[in-house]
Amino acid sequence: MNLRKLIESLCELVDPDGSMIEALNIATLNDGDEFFETSSPIILSIVNVEEDRMMKNQPEYFKKSENKISKYKNPNQYLVLSLLFASYNKETYKYLDGIDNLNTILVFFQQHNSFFYKDDDRELITLENFYQKKESEKELYQKVTMEIVSLSTEQLYQMWSCLGSKYMPSMLFKMRLCMI
């Protein structure tokens, strides 16, 4: 699974025309950057990668091969990415436009919180499109789910302090991935 292609595909699903979301490391941005004057109003940044502990205790298993030598295979790893969607406009009068963009993202993920990612890194599709596939095609996909994370004021302060940035209106989502 190619995480870069997965994030790019997610951005394309949420923002088909590519004018609203830019995938960047928010910790490297400053108020003086030209980015804020010329680019997308929403910044998508991966702020954490962790292993899904619920899926961690899987046993090793045998993999039989044609040459009659059996091998132990480690269990698959399941990841959880913390994705931060942050809104920032240098012009203060566009503050509410940023809130509208965040609302668009929130509505999208309320309507589509499950996605399916093809193993060959070619596509990310919604649940509705997945059900239209043939059973043999469905086996080639891995499930990806999105859930919103509610942070307390203290956790929010700590996150933005660690990022080295001033607070921006934002939403944090957990993206649960299947096998790596």
Residue 38: predicted pLDDT:
44
Where on the phi/psi map is residue 18: left (φ > 0), alpha (ψ -120 to 50), or beta? left
In a domain, 61, yes or no: no
In this structure, the dihedral spanned by the alpha carbons of residues 157, 145, 121 and 79, taken in order and rounded to 10 degrees, is 60
- 147 lies in a domain? yes
> Into how many domains does the chain fold?
1
pLDDT tens sequence across 143-156: 999 999 999 999 99
Top-confidence residue, 31 or 122: 122
**What is the spatial distance between Cα 175 and Cα 148, in angstroms, rounded to a whole number?**
9
Note down the domain range covering 154: 3-55+82-179
Tokens 């990310």: give the residue.
Answer: 124
Q: Classify residue 67: in a domain, yes or no.
A: no
Classify the phi-psi angles of 68: left when phi > 0, otherwise alpha if psi is within -120 to 50, otherwise beta.
Answer: left
pTM of the model: 0.82
Residue 68 lies in a domain: no
- Using one digit for the tens of pLDDT, what is the confidence trace for 55-105? 555 555 556 666 666 666 677 778 899 999 998 777 777 888 889 999 999
Asked, for residue 131, whether it belongs to a domain, the answer is: yes
Does residue 136 lie in a domain region? yes
